[in-house]
Amino acid sequence: MVAIARELTPTTTAPSVDAIPLRLRRGSGSPRQVFALALVGAIVLALFASRDLTSWLNGQGDGPIVALLQQAAADWDDAMATLGLVRPHDALRLTIHRLLDWQWPRLESANLRRARPSPSHASRGSLPLPPAGRGSG
């Protein structure tokens, strides 16, 4: 095999550690913009997902700080309910429950049909089970 000899051209910039090209990195946000966007996201979650905050805190264990946070989360959820900001969350949850209820019985009935023996199995000489509660002696 013959190797092709050519000179390597030096790059104009050194590659970054995370392999994001510099031209793409220049168009990204500054750390202040990222922080501001994270803060806006946290505020939106606090406004519209207050129901999940209380249930999440209930799973965090016990303790004086957790109890204080649970009470504050319950008060916050009541305030958001007063403003009507929990309606989208409740509507989405109700829709998901309705969809699951609508679809689940069909799957459940199909599984029950598979689990039940057909009448032809009972007529093949299978013996009935003894009544429960009687001794063998």
Q: Is the pLDDT of residue 68 over 70?
A: yes
Report residue 29 as tokens.
């946000």
Residue 36 within any structural domain of the chain? yes
- Domain range holding 69? 30-114
Report the half-sphere exposure of 20 (CA within 13 A, side-chain side).
7
Please give the tally of structural domains in the chain: 1
pLDDT of residue 11: 58
Which pTM value belongs to this model?
0.50
Nearest-10 crossing angle of helices 50-58, 31-48: 90
Decide if 71 is inside a domain. Answer: yes
88 in helix, strand or coil? helix
Q: What percent of the chain has pLDDT over 70?
A: 64
Q: What is the pLDDT of residues 116-129, one digit of tens each?
A: 555 544 444 444 44
Is residue 53 included in any domain, yes or no? Answer: yes
Q: Mean pLDDT over all residues of the chain?
A: 76
